């Protein structure tokens, strides 16, 4: 992974964090950084080869990066307290519903748009 | 090195240095990932879930507090920022497919954001959760820093929200792919979007393992979810629970 592309990612994040603090945007700095890099790629019209390699390496292990925060759940297990059953059921059922309904709506809308653009099919 | 060369002194020395818990996190994750691959990618052996359980177990057994652990693990945690920025690349690679579907994406996102918050609030409220718990629960599908901000604004506990966000992400990554197949959602664009909406970054990590197309739609959904939820959740809460 090329050092200058790692620096590029950090610079985008830094500008993102700064903008969020200054303007008070309702999104995290790294997400703004993602948008900035995205705009840069659109303007440039291509992904520099070294950048692609760097981001692919980083994203191949994206799951790992959530582990330290995940272990932090141990701090809050007691806080679930008397309501643990309500919280557990709400988390499980709501996640199932959100997944299924978002998936269905998106599938239906993709079909609708395909039909609109190719009415002869 | 400590002067006292007993095993106990060595342990005390290592346990207070970042190296031990950084290495431990990496090794546990590699083993969990090997187990996941070896098992034919069984959903329940999700590497994030297994690593979390093993590491929490180790910390409890060795009587180590989370702060000591995080002093080492923070070097891994830190990479979440640049990795989030890096998601611009898969997003850009799928730009044509995303641009063609901007209206379906927007509609599905708003519906997904509303379903996520409303269903969690209604279910937990009907089971007797307190207002503070409900407000901590509402932004559970939003990426952590934004979710904590929303919870604070609504009158919830940001630190409880942080834990609920992680649990939701792991849950979505574990049951998401199988559930989407079971309910007939086969299109990678719809699967990725659903994973990003319901399970933020952890769902996005799972979607990236499936295909670049699903990963790009999940990354887009995670970013948009932060924006849409910041705007919509306060209104949803006022509508469901007028003070």
Which of A11, A26, A60 is the endpoint of a domain? A60
- Which pLDDT belongs to residue B14? 78
User: pLDDT digit string (tens) for A8-61?
Assistant: 999 999 999 999 899 987 778 898 999 999 999 999 999 998 999 999 999 988
Q: Are residues A85 and A49 in the same domain?
A: no
Q: Is residue A48 part of a domain?
A: yes
Q: Are residues A55 and A82 in the same domain?
A: no
Which residues of chain A have a CB within 8 Å of the CB of B169? 66
Distance of alpha carbon B242 from alpha carbon A57, whole angstroms: 48
**Residue of higher predicted confidence among B162 and B193:** B193
CB pair distance less than 8 Å for B163 and A76: yes
Q: What is the pTM of this model?
A: 0.90
pLDDT beyond 60 at B186:
yes
In chain B, what's the furthest Cα-to-Cα distance? 68
- Which pLDDT belongs to residue B79? 93
Q: Are residues A6 and A35 in the same domain?
A: yes
Residue in A closest to B135 by C-alpha: A87
What are the CA-CA distances from residue B117 to residues A50, A62, B128, B142 (Å)?
A: 40, 26, 17, 10
Residue in A closest to B53 by C-alpha: A71
Q: Are residues A5 and A54 in the same domain?
A: yes
Q: Are residues A42 and A83 in the same domain?
A: no
Cα A105 to the center of its chain, rounded Å = 20
**Partner residue opposite A71 with nearest CB, options B52, B130, B183:** B52
Q: Is residue A6 part of a domain?
A: yes
Specify the number of domains making up chain A.
2
pLDDT beyond 80 at B63:
yes
**Partner residue opposite A31 with nearest CB, options B84, B183, B190:** B84
Cα A99 to the center of its chain, rounded Å = 16
> In chain B, pLDDT over 70 holds for what percent of residues?
98
Q: Are residues A1 and A54 in the same domain?
A: yes
Q: Are residues A48 and A86 in the same domain?
A: no
**Partner residue opposite A68 with nearest CB, options B70, B171, B173:** B70
Q: Are residues A83 and A54 in the same domain?
A: no
CB pair distance less than 8 Å for B85 and A33: yes
Q: Is residue A20 part of a domain?
A: yes
- Which pLDDT belongs to residue A1? 59
Round the average pLDDT of chain B to a whole number and report it. 92
Distance of alpha carbon B23 from alpha carbon A5, whole angstroms: 25
User: pLDDT digit string (tens) for A62-110?
Assistant: 999 999 988 988 888 777 777 788 999 999 999 999 999 999 999 999 9
Distance of alpha carbon B158 from alpha carbon B146, whole angstroms: 10
| Residue span of the structural domain in which A46 resides | 1-60
Cα of A110 to nearest chain B Cα, Å: 7
Q: Is residue A68 part of a domain?
A: no
Q: Is residue A11 part of a domain?
A: yes
> In chain B, pLDDT over 90 holds for what percent of residues?
80
Q: Are residues A1 and A40 in the same domain?
A: yes
**Partner residue opposite B88 with nearest CB, options A28, A41, A103:** A41
Which residues of chain A have a CB within 8 Å of the CB of B33? 63
DSSP B41: S
């Amino acid at each position: 992974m090329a050092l200058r592309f790692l620096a590029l990612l950090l610079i985008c994040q830094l500008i993102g964090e700064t903008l969020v603090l200054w303007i008070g945007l309702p999104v995290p700095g790294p997400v703004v950084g993602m948008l900035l890099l995205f705009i840069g790629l659109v303007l440039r019209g291509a992904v520099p080869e070294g950048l692609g390699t760097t981001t692919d390496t980083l994203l191949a292990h994206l799951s790992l990066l959530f582990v330290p925060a995940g272990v932090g759940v141990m701090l809050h297990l007691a806080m679930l307290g008397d309501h643990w059953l309500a919280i557990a059921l709400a988390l499980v059922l709501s996640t199932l519903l959100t997944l299924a309904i978002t998936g269905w709506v998106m599938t239906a809308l993709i079909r609708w748009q395909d039909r609109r653009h190719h009415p002869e099919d | 090195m400590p002067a006292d060369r007993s095993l106990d002194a060595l342990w005390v020395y290592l346990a207070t240095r970042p190296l031990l818990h950084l290495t431990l996190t990496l090794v546990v994750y590699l083993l969990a990932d090997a187990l996941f691959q070896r098992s034919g990618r069984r959903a329940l052996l999700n590497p994030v879930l297994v690593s979390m359980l093993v590491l929490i177990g180790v910390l409890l057994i060795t009587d180590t507090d989370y702060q000591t652990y995080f002093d080492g693990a923070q070097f891994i945690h830190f990479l979440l920022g640049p990795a989030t920025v890096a998601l611009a690349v898969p997003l850009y690679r799928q730009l044509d497919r995303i641009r063609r579907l901007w209206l379906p994406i927007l509609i599905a996102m708003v519906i997904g954001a509303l379903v996520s918050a409303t269903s969690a609030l209604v279910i937990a409220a009907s089971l007797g959760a307190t207002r503070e718990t409900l407000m901590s629960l509402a932004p559970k599908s939003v990426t952590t820093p934004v979710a904590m901000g929303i919870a604070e604004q609504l009158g919830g506990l940001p630190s409880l929200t942080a834990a609920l966000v992680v649990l939701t992400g792991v849950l979505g990554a574990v049951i998401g792919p199988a559930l989407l197949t079971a309910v007939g959602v086969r299109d990678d664009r719809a699967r990725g979007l659903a994973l990003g909406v319901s399970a933020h970054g952890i769902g996005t990590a799972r979607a990236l393992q499936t295909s670049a197309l699903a990963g790009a739609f999940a990354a887009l959904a995670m970013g948009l979810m932060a924006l849409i939820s910041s705007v919509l959740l306060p209104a949803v809460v006022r509508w469901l629970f007028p003070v």
